[in-house]
Structure 1
Amino acid sequence: MEKEMDIIGIGYLGFECTDLEAWRSYGPEVMGFGIGNNPDNDPDSLYLRMDDRRFRLAFHPGEIDRLAYIGWEAKGRLEYMAALKKFRDEGIEFQIGDEELCQKRGVKELIRFFDPVGFRHELFYGQKWTPQSFVPGRRHGGYLAGKRGLGHIVLMTPEYNRELEHFLINIMGFRWYGSGAGKGKTGFFRSKLNDYTSHDIAYGHAPGRMGVHHIGVFVNSIRDVGETYDIVKEKELQLLMTLGQHSQDPHVSFYHYNPSGFAFECIGEIEPWHDDGFELNPEVMSVWGHEMVGPMLGSFIKTPEEVRDPDFKPSNQ
């Protein structure tokens, strides 16, 4: 019996960044991230840790703030090989990462490819880690990552069509979760092995705009949510939404903007998430809180011409 293309979740995220020094202080002081060691072949970037993995967030010097890649973790080598076969059978173009790139990412093997919108993705297995090595940048209870991935990402896309949903469901093997209570066209998806959260990735339709809306990260306790909230207010950072609880998730969270202009959603679980067994259609986005106090789209959201990878070629060309 052949192995399937089983994805755990988001293993790491990479960004091009115009102000690394801002992140060097913001990451540890506000979010409690640890500073990671740079690979020998990448001395100029900034690597941030959330757990015992070598890194979870990478920031590379750039002329514009933009998403560089989303790294998806395959369960292991056999699942990774099954993914390569799936991509070849479906005619999906991909590049195999060379030894230098694998060393930068700290993984055994990886491939790189684009989704139909033009966001670059990577699929890997075997990221380096050291048990009990994570040291937060400030007093912090740590993050829920590990076997569930670093959290979720919500992207704004200039096009939302059947081709995108086909890619996510039939190629990547994600499960459709629903469209939520927000206005407009939005799709939420979670990886096949994710039984911990409602979604790993979501795409929101924003004609003429493209980029990261927010990244959701799960902390170990409500105290970590509250202390981060206090620090954000003390430093007078821009809030997007106040403390609240979404309809579909038994979690408490808030949103604020970081130095690159996208938001972090800091999330504390008040009870384990479970699949309701049917597609939800909530009346409201949140059952309490989540007052909108900042701009819905941050400065990270730009035109596709500004942020699309120059190597991306639309499928209709």
Structure 2
Amino acid sequence: MDIIGLGYMGFEATDLDAWRDYGPAVMGFAIGQNPEGDPDSLYFRMDDRRHRLAFHPGKVDRLAYLGWEAKGRMEFKAACRKFTDAGVDFTVGDAELCEKRGVKELIRFFDPVGFRHELFYGQKWLPDSFVPGRRHGGYLAGRRGLGHVVLMTPEFPPELEDFLINIMGFHWYGSGAGKGKTGFFRSRLNTFTSHDIAYGHAPGRMGIQHVGLFVGSLRDVGETYDIVKKRELQMMMTLGQHSQDPHISFYHFNPSGFAFECIAESEPWHDDGFELNPEKMSVWGHELVGPILGPSVKTPEEVGDPEFKAKKG
């Protein structure tokens, strides 16, 4: 499938007021305009797209959906045919849902472990319209997608890798240097970063572990780092550089209990051409000063999608 990367993400959140302050003041997000028919949610902009992150009122903090961007209408139609031929169950988004997402067309489906995904094309945008919530150099969220996400799953069956590689068309990047079973995957058209999504095996647990966002400069990372420290927000890892990426980043927890990794490129990423097996996760820094799994990772009963649970019986 000709997928660019993550176009948007949606969450259920228990404290939208905390996000309304945190998003602009800490991360530099801009608060977006609510689409008609959805006055209670909170939408954040990271660039000239109508929105990149959506937070909907919920009884528990959890990931609601991941939106993958197809290159265009023809690529979207080809993906739908591939899903049909492979016997993947999906639903077509109606006009109301497409308007909420700000896209031309979309479909919705589940991966084999129960996370909901959407595939779309043609998200609304307006050139030179993004104004950050505070002084900020902006996010690199265009041709690579908005960033990457790491999910924890209670099961890591062969069907998951088959779905991601043979149906979604993702490239297998490797398992990284972490402990346990982990898989990193990159969408077909993304040649700018190592991975768009990763799954970690956490028996009995499920949820979102962190989201990685690329900023315009190292200064953006440093200023966010200072704000996080000044506000005494819980960090996961201090400033550092991973072994497999020429990037500098740090991790801290947001109001929904998962972490944001703020990332600046020290040099452009390039495909190594072989599967890496790093001796350790980072070449310097990234001291673990908080939990590796935040409160957003709970039991499947707490954060699993109700529709998927109903289908599983």
Q: Shorter-chain TM-score: what band? A: over 0.9
1:248 matched to 2:220? The reply is no
Give the drift of 1:181: 0.4
Q: In structure 1, what is the equivalent of residue 66 of structure 2?
A: 70
Q: Distance in 2 between matches of 1:51 and 1:203?
A: 27
Q: Deviations over 1:65-98 (max 9, x none)?
A: 0100000000000000000000000000000000
Q: TM-score, normalised by structure 1?
A: 0.98
Give the drift of 1:315: 8.4
Q: Distance in 2 between matches of 1:308 and 1:91?
A: 23
Q: Percent identity?
A: 79
Aligned ranges 1:24-63 → 2 under 5 Å? 24-63=20-59
Q: In structure 2, what is the equivalent of residue 112 of structure 1?
A: 108
- 2:92 is aligned, of 96, 113, 135, to 96
Q: Distance in 2 between matches of 1:29 and 1:86?
A: 43
Q: Distance in 2 between matches of 1:104 and 1:70?
A: 14
1:19 matched to 2:5? The reply is no
Question: How many residue pairs get matched?
Answer: 313
Q: Distance in 1 between matches of 2:10 and 2:310?
A: 22
1:149 matched to 2:137? The reply is no
| Structure 2: gaps (5+ residues) | none
Q: In structure 2, what is the equivalent of residue 209 of structure 1?
A: 205
Q: In structure 2, what is the equivalent of residue 226 of structure 1?
A: 222
Give the drift of 1:313: 5.2
Q: TM-score, normalised by structure 2?
A: 0.99
Query: In the alignment, is the contact (CA less than 8 A) between 1:116 and 1:315 conserved in 2?
Result: no
Superposed CA RMSD: 1.0
Give the drift of 1:296: 1.1
Q: Distance in 2 between matches of 1:246 and 1:220?
A: 18
1:266 matched to 2:262? The reply is yes
Q: Deviations over 1:81-139 (max 9, x none)?
A: 00000000000000000000000000000000000010000000000000000000000
Q: Distance in 1 between matches of 2:124 and 2:309?
A: 32
Give the drift of 1:161: 1.6
Q: Deviations over 1:152-197 (max 9, x none)?
A: 0000000012100000000100000000000100000000001000
Q: In structure 2, what is the equivalent of residue 199 of structure 1?
A: 195
Give the drift of 1:310: 1.1
Q: Distance in 1 between matches of 2:238 and 2:194?
A: 21
1:306 matched to 2:298? The reply is no
Give the drift of 1:316: 7.4
Give the drift of 1:236: 0.1
| Structure 1: gaps (5+ residues) | none
Moved over 6 A (4+): 314-317
Which letter maps to 2:237? M
Query: In the alignment, is the contact (CA less than 8 A) between 1:114 and 1:120 conserved in 2?
Result: yes
1:181 matched to 2:161? The reply is no
Give the drift of 1:41: 1.1
Which letter maps to 1:90? A
